[in-house]
Structure formats: structure tokens, C-alpha cells
Amino acid sequence: MVDFCPDDTPQLKAWRGEVRAFLEAELPGGMTFDYDYDEDEAGWDAYLAFWRKVGAKKWIGLTWPEEFGGLGRSAIERWILQEEFAEYAAPSHPIIGMAVAAGLLRHGTHAQRLRHLPGIASGAVQWGEGYSEPGSGSDLASLTTRAHLDGDHWVLNGQKTLGTAAHRAQWMSVLARTDPEAPGHSAISCFLVPLDAPGIQMLPLHNMADGQQNQTFFDNVRLPADSLLGDVNKAWNQIWFGLGGEALDPPGPSPDPYRYRIVRMLRKVMSYCRETRHRGRPLMEDPVVRLQLAELLEGVEAIRTQYYESYSNAVTGITVGPRPIALNLHQAYYKEFWPRFAQTCMEIVGPMAQIQGGRWACLNGELEHYFRGSVSNHAGGTSQLKRMVLATRGLGLPR
Amino acid sequence: MSIDLNFNEQQQLIQNTAREFFQKHCPIDVVRRAEKADEEYPADLWRGMADLGWLGITFPEAYGGLGCSFLDLYALYGELGRSLAPVPHLECVALAGTLVAELGSETQKAEWLPRIAAGEAILTPALMEPDGLYGPDGVTLSARRDGDNFLLNGVKLLVAYAKSADRLVCAARIGTGDGAAGVSLFLVDPKAPGVSLEKTTNMASAPLYAVIFKDVAVPTSDALGEVGGAWPVLDATVMKAAVLQSAMVVGAGEVVLDMTADYARTRVQFGQPIGRHQAVQYLVTDIAIEQNLTRNLALRAAWRIESGRSFLREAALAKACASKAAAAMTFAAHEVHAGIGFMLDYDLQLYTLRAKHWESNLGDRRHCLERAMAEGGDDPLPHFQHA
């Protein structure tokens, strides 16, 4: 039955109220810190302190079993929590930890879950990603970092790059080749790696939007056997990529504060257009500006409805067409829309949008920063890659 | 159940029944023949739809209808889009008939609704004027009280099926001004003295007419709803129909996507299927993306209508998106098909030429985008969609 209302019972409405009350107490006015695009100590401290408070309520692992630090709550409660966090301008939770948690919940051993999930759930332990390599970006399955068994230990060698905020993490999820003879994704395994292990070195990369990513070097890093997550050689399909990102948000897709920045930025630009007068009238009343804003509104609203579609697909198991269509389609659309959105916002605000801060900056310089961040729409796979997957796996075009 | 984008059992039944019905009774050669036929719509197809109850699908049962909900109707419209069925359902049932059901007196409802439902009467709206405006300011055809009659003077354009119609549901203005106040609706016999029709064929051979009113006397009893106060219901009915028109774009988009993906898989150039080229893959995925955006926005608008929520903003967004998709999907399909798609023998053109009508019908993109902004007032982007 067609329904776009997530909280249709008094219990769920009360749950939304509880989440909102928490945010109003802990985060009045939201938080502008984005870990991908910020690197100041005070920001990081406030950010991590906030997430430890969320963790203390056991809301990070809301849907996980209680023994792993969760509350065993429903998917729709997770949706409502996420929607409130997103609308409230809460900062996004470190995404890699949630991806690792999803992998652990599906494919981890009981001991691995007990070991790692409580730390993620409490907000105490941060995870970095060890996926991309200098020679393996879109074609991730060509990665050359390798691991081999030496007695009862795995020995890890290679180089990872573009690890967002990995320097703030204690652990890293690393993909490595475990059969040098086997091609492509058929010989890739996933390892849970403590970043204080001997043989690991990290060098910073500074991105265009003030964030830090990292190169990580593994030189004969010895890992105990239980560092392997899931089956050997099966990481591709088990952990993340085979699922097209669906596993990022167990138990099903929900609004994420990361993408919701697009909603918040549009609200800010609309406020600016109401408050700013050009030639004696608010910018909002300029028909050209209104049309530009309306086209942004349409795209943002389309993205919001896609969250509902993703959730409906995941929870009801019914999709329009083959499954890879929706996931890759949503990603392709968002990835192409986002930089155009940021560009149009800059055009609407005008030449002063480029000023970085101080009394002459527009929107406190937030749009200028946001524009630089929109150049990172490749993260998680380029739009070209999503289009290719949509065309071949989704629509059956030849590879 | 909360958050579910799937039709319920009844809507699935309507969807499946309609798909089978149109596959059997409206294959593509029926669409082609209708373009050349003298009759404005295939009478047997219309009768078949009447037999299934679809001509009174949302009318109250007391007037020969099925009493179905808006989403039930929406489910039917995806199939009307897929099949390109050349029938006046949008005009006669979703617009004119619904206006009679919403605004009509007992006498008017009893006179027209059972006959529409039975396929025995055609009513069609006469809304647009030469200015091409969609708002109340577009209604300038004058209605002047003259004893027991109103005298209508003015011109209506893009009036579909006017020659077949038993009555036009004509929007007219009483008094001066250009706002909502003063907009009235009248049931007008297109054969009445003073009414003249000029056929204005469009690129899809739609039976469109210019209708010229010269001192047309309409009895006061043929006013539909409150004289001077019809705009809010007319507007809401048109916006609901715009969501149905969007559903047709969604349905037709599925066919255009399948047709284009099939062609890209099978057409061989440079020794391989053209669909292996990423330039072609981008065009095919463009169709899928436009179709998806329209589907989600239209379904959300339909759900808001169904559940009694405010819907004008969401309906405007859906139709804005559908108008763009109608053009963008057929553009991309032609880019992939190239020469063969330009030929009349190939079916793609049937979709392309109708898409052009659908693009502007009941609100073009520019109008709908502005409408969405205006309906949002000070908050064009409300925080929660389920409020």
C-alpha cells in the first residue's frame, strides 16, 4: 500500500519526539562540522563528544542486538532517527564504521562482533577505509595490496590512498588480494587492521575542502588469523561492493545527514534570497532566480523521494525492474546533481559568494566551502562508474 | 505499514487488468489507425473500458461509478501512458466528469455521471485561451448575465474531442479582474447557436479544436458550481489531473526505455552492439533516471491526494518533472535510434509526438516550477514530507 509516512503510530511519533528532544538539548542550532571537509581540533573534539553522547544512548547501533551495544529496535525507528538527525543538521556519523558494522553483522564471527561492535556503537572507536590504491580507483578490483598466511598470521603488504580521516581512526578495514594467481575481484579479502600495529605508516593528503585524507603504507604487517572478516577471497560480494552500498546502513537505507547537506544548503540559499534586496526587491522575487531555485528544489525533492524508494525496495523486497537499477540510479543522479547544485547556488548568490570569510562573506562563507566540497562527488565511486553499472547490470546493455 | 511505494492489491489488479486489456484491445496499430480515422476515438475501445467500469472509476456508486480512490485511478493511468490508448479518459473522466461530481447539482450529477460511466456521453473541458496561461488570469472568456441566461463570448484553444462532446465544461469569467474570484464553469452544448469549432491538429493528430463563443446563451441552470467561485475546485481538479498526466509519462517512459535498451543491445555497428559504447550507455541511463525521478515525485503527489494531505506543491513538482522527462526521454531515445527512429514506420515517433502534447498539457515546466515555489510560500522546502 502506497505510504510515505514513516511514523504512523503514536509510539513512532513519540520516538521521533524523543530523538528531537535529544538533539535540541545536545545540538541546539545544528553543527556545521563535516569530518570530510574539516580538520580543526576543536571541531573534531566537539564532533566526537557529540557522537559519544549518541553512543551512550545506544542509538548508533539502534537496530543491532543488545549484546553488541544496540537496542534491537526496528528499521523504521532507525529511519526516523536518521531523518531527525538529517533535518536537524547533525553531523554525519563516520560512514566506514557503519560499513564495517554491517559486514560484521552479516559475515563476522560471534567473537569478532563482540570485539568490535560495542566500540563502534559507543562512539569510542573510529574506523578508516583501506580500499582505494594509487593504481586502483574506479577499477577497485585491480587492487594489488596483498596478504598471505605465515603460520597462523596474515602478513599484509601494500599501499592504500584517499583514506578519509583515517588519521583520526584506531582501526582500518583493508581490502587485500589473498590469491596472487586469481584475477579481479575473485581473490579479495577483507581485514580488520589495528592502526597501531608495527609496519604501518600514514602520510597526509590535504583535499580541496580543508579535509585530510591519507595514504597508508603496510610493510609486513602481521595480523592474527581472526583479523579476516568473512570468507577468504569473498570480500567483494560479502562485505560491501557486491551489495552496491546497501549494506552501509543496516538494516535498510534511510536519510543520511551527509547527503542532507544539500537540503540544508538550499534552505540557506533561499533565506539569503529572501533577505537580500537587489534593485529594490528581494532576490527571491527575481523571476530568473526563482526559476533557478525551483529547479534546485525539484532535484532536492527528487533525491528525498529516492530515500523512500530505497527503503521501500529494501524492506518490501519489491523493486521496479532488477535490483541494481535503483541503487546505482540514485547514486548516479545524486553525484551528477550535487556539483551542478553547488554551481547554481554560487551563480544565484553572485560574485561575493567567493569571499571566504569575514564581514563581506555571504552565508558566512559556508557556500564557498560547500562548493569546494562538491568536487568530492567521486567518493564511493564516480558517477561514470554508477552509470556504467546501471547500464550493464541494471538495464542489460553489453559490457 | 509505513513507507511503501508499492500499489495495494486493488491497484495491482487494476494495473494488471489494464495492461492485459490494452495489450489485447489497443495494440500499437490501433493507435496508428486512430490518427487517420474519422471518429475521434475508437468507439469499441471506449465501450470496452466502460464495461470494466473505468469510465466511472472514481464516481460515486450512486451515479454508476465504482467509487474507487485516486491511487486506483493513478494505477490505470500508467497503463494509459504505456499503451498510448487514443481515448478521452483524461478529458472526460478525470477532468470534466470529476468537475461535475465535485461541483454539480443533484440534477447535473444524475444527468451526466451515469451516462459518462456507461460510455454514452462525452464531456470535455474547455480551459485554455490564446494567451496560453494556466492560472486564473488565463480565464478571460466573458460570461454576462442576460435574464435567465449567461451570454458567453471569447475563444478557447486546445479543446480536445470538442466535436464528439455532448457538453463542454467551459471556464469563463464573470465581472472584471484577472484573479480567482469571477472564474465560473458552464456546461455548454458545442452544437448550441453561437459556438463554432475549428480543428487545430497537433503533431500527434490529437483531435484538438479552437472553440469560438459568440453570444452563446447558456441557461443559468447549466452553471456548474458557484458562479464566480469555481476556481479552487477547478484548480485542484486540474492539478490532480496533472498528476495523472505525469503517471502517463511514467508509463510511456517504461516503454521508451525498454525500446531503446533493446535497440542498444541488438543494433550492431563497428562490429559490436552500440550499447557497449559508454556514450550510448549515458543516453539510455538518462531515460531511466528521468523516468525514476518522475515516478517517485508523481507517486508521492498521488499519495498526498489519496491521504487527504495538501498536494498542490507536490503535484506541481511532479508535473514539472514529468514535463522535462517527456522531452528528455524521447530526445535520448532518438539520439540512440538515429535514422530508424525518425521513420514513421518505427513506433518511437508515436511516443515522441504525444510526449510533446503531454509536456505542456495541464501545466508546462516553467509554470509548474513557479507554482511549486509559490505554493511553498515562505517555506518552499518543508522539513518533513509526511506532514
**Per-residue pLDDT tens over the stretch B167-195:** 999 999 999 999 999 999 999 999 999 99
Decide if pLDDT at A253 tops 80. Answer: no
Minimum distance, in Å, between the CA of residue B219 and any CA atom of chain A: 42
Q: Which domains does chain B have, with CATH numbers?
A: 9-121 (1.10.540.10), 125-224 (2.40.110.10), 231-376 (1.20.140.10)
**pLDDT for position A108:** 93
Provide the grid cell at B263. Answer: 535497440
Average confidence (pLDDT) over B266-294 = 97
Task: Select from A2, A297, A326 the Cβ nearest to the Cβ of B380.
Answer: A297
Q: How many CB atoms lie within 10 A of CB B220?
A: 13
Query: Where does the pLDDT of residue A250 fall: very low under 50, low under 70, confident under 90, or very high at 90 and above?
Result: low
- The pLDDT assigned to A322 comes to 55
Strand partners, A156: A147, A221
**Count of helices and strands (H, E) across chain B:** 12, 10
Query: pLDDT band for position B2 (50/70/90)?
Result: confident
For B198-238, write each residue's pLDDT tens digit. Answer: 999 999 999 999 999 999 999 999 999 999 999 999 999 99
pLDDT above 90 as % of chain B: 95
User: How large is the average pLDDT for residues A201-206?
Assistant: 96
Q: Which residues of B touch A329 (CB under 8 A)?
A: 285, 288-289, 292
CA angle A150, A154, A157 (to 5 degrees): 105
Of residues A123 and A252, the one with the higher pLDDT is A123
Q: Which of B11, B302, B381 sits opposite A300 (nearest CB)?
A: B381
User: Does B317 sit within 8 Å of A298, measured CB to CB?
Assistant: yes
Helix crossing, B70-83 with B9-25: angle to 10°?
30
Q: Where are the beta strands (DSSP E) in chain B?
A: 123-126, 142-146, 149-160, 167-174, 183-188, 195-199, 208-219, 223-224, 268-269, 272-273
Per-residue pLDDT, averaged over A180-186, amounts to: 87
pLDDT, greater one: A299 or A32: A299
**How sure is the predictor about A29, in pLDDT bands with cuts at 50, 70 and 90?**
confident
Contact list, A291 vs chain B (CB under 8 Å): 366, 369-370
- Report the pLDDT value the prediction gives residue A249, as an integer from 0 to 100: 55
**Chain A nearest CA to B381, separation (Å):** 7
Question: How many angstroms separate the first and last alpha carbons of chain B?
Answer: 17
pLDDT of B146 > 70? The answer is yes
Pick among 2.40.50.1020, 2.60.120.560, 3.40.1310.30, 1.10.540.10: CATH of A10-126: 1.10.540.10
* Of residues A15, A76, A22, the one with CA closest to residue A50: A22
| pLDDT at A36 (0 to 100) | 87
> A251: pLDDT confidence band, cut at 50, 70 and 90?
low
Count CA atoms closer than 13 A to A209's CA, side-chain side.
22
Question: Do B261 and A318 lie within an 8 Å CB cutoff?
Answer: no
What average pLDDT does this structure show over B14-39?
97
DSSP state string for B157-202: EEEETTTT-SEEEEEEEESS-SSSTTEEEEEE-TTSTTEEEEE---
What distance in Å separates residue B20's CA from the closest CA in chain A?
19
Per-residue confidence (pLDDT) for residue A247, from 0 to 100: 47
The answer to whether the CB of A175 falls within 8 A of the CB of A189 is yes
Helix axes B9-25, B43-51, angle to 10 degrees: 150
Whether residue B340 is predicted with pLDDT greater than 80 in this model: the reply is yes
Top CATH class, A128-242 = mainly beta
pLDDT tens, A58-94?
A: 999 999 999 999 999 998 999 999 999 988 889 888 7
Compute the nearest-CA separation of A321 from chain B (Å): 10
**How much is the pLDDT for A324?**
60
Higher pLDDT, B277 or A389: B277
**Substitution target from A12, A397, A399 for chain B, most B beta carbons within 10 A:** A397
Please say if the pLDDT value at position B163 is more than 50. Answer: yes
pLDDT class for A114, splitting at 50, 70, 90? Answer: very high
Segments making up each domain of chain A, as ranges: 10-126, 128-242, 256-394
Q: So what's the pLDDT on residue A159?
A: 98
Q: What is the arithmetic mean of pLDDT over A203-226?
A: 96
Cell numbers of B208, please?
A: 484538438
- The pLDDT value given to residue A99: 84
Q: What are the pLDDT digits (tens) for B191-208? A: 999 999 999 999 999 999
Q: For residue B82, list chain A residues with Cβ-Cβ distance below 8 A.
A: none
CATH fold, domain A256-394, is Butyryl-CoA Dehydrogenase, subunit A; domain 3 (1.20.140)
Q: What is the pLDDT of residue B379?
A: 78
Closest CA to B386 of A67, A46, A16: A16
- The model's pLDDT over A339-388, given as tens digits with 9 standing for 90+, comes to 999 999 999 999 999 999 899 999 999 999 999 999 999 888 899 999 99
What was the ipTM of the complex prediction? 0.94
Q: Which residues of A touch B300 (CB under 8 A)?
A: 4, 305, 308
Say if strands A228-229 and A188-194 run parallel, antiparallel, or are unpaired: antiparallel
Mean pLDDT computed over B81-94: 98
> If you average pLDDT over residues A270-289, what whole number do you get?
95
Q: What is the DSSP letter of B308?
A: T
Task: Determine the pLDDT at residue A244.
Answer: 47
Q: In the 8-state DSSP scheme, what is residue B229?
A: B
Confidence label for A319 from pLDDT (cuts 50, 70 and 90): low
CA–CA gap between residue B13 and residue B17 (Å, rounded):
6
Once rounded to an integer, what is the mean pLDDT over residues A34-59?
93
